[in-house]
Amino acid sequence: MERAFGARWNPFAQLGALGWFCFWLIAGTGVYLYIFFDTGVTAAYESVESLTHRQWWAGGIMRSLHRYASDAMMVLVLVHLFREFAHDRLRGVRWFAWVTGVALLPLIYACGVTGYWMVWDRLAQYVAQTTTEWLDALPLFAEPLARNFLDSGHLSGRFFTLMAYIHIFAPLALLLFMWVHIQRHSGARVNPERGLALGTLAMLMGLSVAWPALSQPAADLGRVPMELPLDWFYLAVYPLIDRYGGAAVWLGGAAVGTVLLLLPWLPPARRPPAAVVDLDNCNGCGRCFTDCPYGAIEMVPRTDRAPYSQQAQVDPDRCVSCGLCVGACPTATPFRRAKALKSGIELPGLRAAELRDQVVAMGGALATRPRILAFHCGHSAPLPPSDASFGVVHVPCIGMLPPSFVDFTLARGHADGALLAGCRSGECHFRLGDRYTEQRIAGERDPALRERVPRGRIGVSWRGMIDRRRRRADLSAFREALLREAPAAPARAGCRPAWSFVAQGGLYALLALTIGAFSCWPQYRQLARDEAVVKLSFSHAAQRVEPCAALTAAELARLPINMRVRTDCRRDRWPVTVNLMLDGRLLYLGTHRPAGLHDDGPSTIYRRFAVPVGPHVINVRIRDTGRSTGYDYEARRGVNLQPGQSFVIDFASSGNGFIFPVTKE
Amino acid sequence: MGLLDWRDDFSIGIPEVDHEHRLLIDLIGALHERLVEQQQGAGIGEFLGELHSQISAHFALEEKIMRSRRYAGYPDHKQDHERLLDEIRDIMDGYELHGRYDAGELGTALETWFGEHFRTHDARLHRLRGGSHA
């Protein structure tokens, strides 16, 4: 990826920032779409259709961008999550970003799902039905939400207003959480490199024009949508809900979520001690404060008698022990008196004095020219073992190395060349080590490497954990350059080979194709070709367990004056037992408890059955009294089910009992 | 009597900076005396390193103060800092290389530099500070 995009544009190093970019893109297009969106059972669909077709050159492209950017965001976020996990960047202080990041997932999901809902085409119908069934698996709502989508008579235009609000509110909440997500990162990257952003936009634009997002036919609650082009980035769990039920998917989701949230604390966890400040060597210059990538250092009023106004203070809970602060400290220089060498801020795990001793010892062991001393970060690709011409000093992060150590190594003749071997460019395990190092060598950041240090004798090698081969190649190249005494030209971003642009284009195309394809393919078949659906759904309050008793005058007189009602009713009701037969075969038999703390509410039922098409006799019965046998209501109906038909059996005790759809036989 | 003596007109009125200026002048004086007494004494190189480190830290603090006060002469002043640090490093290297050091050279370098630096840059910072106080 880095070779195709170049180090500066490597998308893997800025997945989070790309996510932010997608968010703004979705927000921008969303505002435009909202201007033209109507909230209403038929108006919603029509407004989206007219936007897509009559205004294809603007609204249509906006709509497609809106969808594809959402898909891209999901992909980016998941890859981001996976990479942070794979690089173990979630422990210690990083739990915060990890946990808030995981919490973003359901929000992103909610944004996506409500978005698909609003179009009110067949897919939206499926999403609405399944989402409500899914939510109904939670004991939250007294009446099943899914009952809203039995037939168009049950559906109100206000519902779309509600959806629109949720679809606006959820992204705002998402934005808030995204902001919280980056709170503990100083200088968090929320904007990708401009070139990469433009490339991504171009890719999504191209996809939108070549493969515009279109609606399915308008929703028809009387029919079950048969073949659904699911957006698998968002709706992949929906077939699971169909198959295993909402409760199972909730449990599964909760289990996955819990594991994800606990990951930062699961073994193997190890944590080197946090940085400490040595006040005798700290004059409060604030360089460590400026450079700490985790905001773990604060400048506070002086606590000793020294006539300085400030001192650095480390918050151990936020410190990751990367040592970038040591690299920034002007007192961390090996030229000092060895006995006195104590840096203003130190890593207890590797103090400046120890680092100096290691350089001297390692350098002393080198005999064969060119003698190379490598400073190696353990989060990056390994180096070959030390030998007579090559020694390694390990540091937690290359950014921990104060530039004066490089000067010291070369000027004092401890080695002929110093190789700085760290993580892949832009992907420092501690975020900013490689960037700081490059800037310090280039003299753009304090403390800068002395100008007179021959740059030709400094090698850099930014290689990720798996790049062993190229790391060895870097070492050999550096060795040869030292032999020739020619400055090794470090491969810099900006002089990319021509093929890499082609590769970059190819990768964009591949990603676009992936997004385009999985946003509507493979199609999901909810129902076999020769099946229809019978839905049994009603909400009915059964009879009370005891009839109301009339109070006698004497009983009334005993009651306080404000409680004298003529009848005394116990509140609890009988459960409702339902029996549904299809062609004399039992399809469903169940007993439903009344809602309410006192069992005084209605019993509700919502069940969906796939049945073969053709003529059937449906027999449905209800018991809502305390009788032990027999039923209180019964209805029998002959019906000829068509493929995909949705046959709804409702019930209202006030009318004629059972309500069947008007059949056109 | 050292190479350089603290004079009240060196004061720029920022206590922490004045404090470090005094420390540095003392340190330079101590170094000079040491050199005069035992020309090729041991540990001179490290003493120079100590001086270099303290001056670096001092400059870092001064630069922070200048930035926080949006001192207009900051780039020039900063460049001057780098120049002195570079010169001291050269002297350090020279000492390491030749095992000896020219007291006159260091004295002149430091004196000229400090005198000049105080007179021009720090004084300007001083004036700026006085101005902002008024």
Query: How confident is the model over A3-22, as pLDDT tens digits?
Result: 778 767 888 888 999 999 99
Residues of A in contact with B60 (CB under 8 A): 283, 285-287, 330, 446-447
A650 touches A658 (CB < 8 A) = yes
Which of A30, A80, A61 lies closest to A192 in space, CA to CA?
A: A80
- Pairwise CB contact (< 8 Å): B49 & A333: yes
| B89 in contact with A, Cβ within 8 Å | yes
Cis geometry, peptide bond prior to residue B15 (ω within 30 degrees of 0)? no
What's the pLDDT at B42?
A: 61
Q: What is the mean pLDDT of residues A25-29?
A: 96
Is B98 contained in some domain?
A: yes
Measured between alpha carbons, how far is A514 from A72 in angstroms, rounded to an integer? 10
Give the start-end residues of each E strand in A211-256.
227-228
| pLDDT band at B76; cut points 50, 70, 90 | confident
Q: What is the mean pLDDT of residues A389-412?
A: 93
A191 touches A499 (CB < 8 A) = no
For β-strands A614-623 and A227-228, DSSP reports them as: unpaired
Is B41 contained in some domain?
A: yes
What's the pLDDT at A269?
A: 65
Tell me how crowded residue A350 is: count the other CB atoms within 10 A of its CB.
Answer: 19
Instruction: Give the gap in angstroms from C-alpha B49 to the nearest C-alpha of chain A.
Output: 4
Map out the domains of chain A with their CATH numbers.
9-265 (1.20.810.10), 276-484 (no CATH), 528-659 (2.60.40)
Measured between alpha carbons, how far is A283 from A254 in angstroms, rounded to an integer? 51
pLDDT, one tens digit per residue, over A153-166 is 778 788 888 888 99
What's the pLDDT at B132?
A: 42
What's the pLDDT at A556?
A: 86
pLDDT above 50 for B89:
yes
Lowest mean pLDDT among A33-42, A89-98, B90-99: B90-99
Of the partner residues A285, A407, A452, the one whose CB lies closest to the CB of residue B64: A285
Of the partner residues A281, A283, A287, the one whose CB lies closest to the CB of residue B16: A283
Is B36 contained in some domain?
A: yes
- Percentage of chain A with pLDDT > 90? 55
| pLDDT band at B116; cut points 50, 70, 90 | confident
pLDDT above 90 for B38:
no
Alpha-carbon distances, residue A221 vs A134, A243, A364 (angstroms): 18, 21, 82
Which of B124, B64, B89, B54 lies closest to A288 in space, CA to CA?
A: B64
Q: What is the mean pLDDT of residues A53-66?
A: 92
Residues ≥6 apart with Cβ < 8 Å to A79? A12, A15
Is B5 contained in some domain?
A: no
- Pairwise CB contact (< 8 Å): A283 & B57: yes
CATH number assigned to the domain comprising residue B119: 1.20.120.50
Measured between alpha carbons, how far is A641 from A285 in angstroms, rounded to an integer? 82
Measured between alpha carbons, how far is A349 from A395 in angstroms, rounded to an integer? 10
Three-state secondary structure along A7-68? HHHCHHHHHHHHHHHHHHHHHHHHHHHHHHCCCCCCHHHHHHHHHHHCCHHHHHHHHHHHHH
Residues ≥6 apart with Cβ < 8 Å to A578? A536, A588, A589, A590, A591, A592, A605, A620, A621, A622
Is B109 contained in some domain?
A: yes
- Pairwise CB contact (< 8 Å): A451 & B58: no
Instruction: Give the gap in angstroms from C-alpha A336 to the nearest C-alpha of chain B.
Output: 4
Alpha-carbon distances, residue A81 vs A73, A101, A103, A196, A334 (angstroms): 12, 8, 11, 20, 40
pLDDT above 90 for A140:
no
Cβ burial of A127 (10 Å; 0-12, 13-18, 19+) is: buried
Q: Which residues pair with A537 in a beta bridge?
A: A606
| B16 in contact with A, Cβ within 8 Å | yes
Interface residues of A toward B, Cβ cutoff 8 Å, are: 281, 283-287, 306-309, 330-331, 333-338, 340, 344, 407, 411-412, 446-448, 450-452
Alpha-carbon distances, residue A466 vs A382, A391, A470 (angstroms): 9, 21, 9
Measured between alpha carbons, how far is A463 from A379 in angstroms, rounded to an integer? 9
Write phi, then psi, for A277 (nearest 5 degrees): -95, 135
- Pairwise CB contact (< 8 Å): B50 & A446: no
pLDDT, one tens digit per residue, over A288-318 is 999 999 999 999 999 998 899 999 999 988 8
Is B64 contained in some domain?
A: yes
What's the pLDDT at A92?
A: 78
A364 touches A477 (CB < 8 A) = no
Measured between alpha carbons, how far is A129 from A149 in angstroms, rounded to an integer? 6
Count of domains in chain B?
Answer: 1
pLDDT above 70 for A192:
yes
What's the pLDDT at A404?
A: 94
Residues of A in contact with B82 (CB under 8 A): 448, 451
List % helix, strand, coil for chain B (3-state, nearest 5).
80, 0, 20
- Residues spanned by the domain of B100: 14-133
| B30 in contact with A, Cβ within 8 Å | no
- Pairwise CB contact (< 8 Å): A309 & B16: yes
Residues ≥6 apart with Cβ < 8 Å to A62? A29, A32, A33, A51
Is B6 contained in some domain?
A: no
Is B94 contained in some domain?
A: yes
A397 touches A321 (CB < 8 A) = no
Tokens representing B43 are 């540990």
Which of A501, A469, A650 lies closest to A199 in space, CA to CA?
A: A501
What's the pLDDT at A308?
A: 93
What's the pLDDT at A492?
A: 45
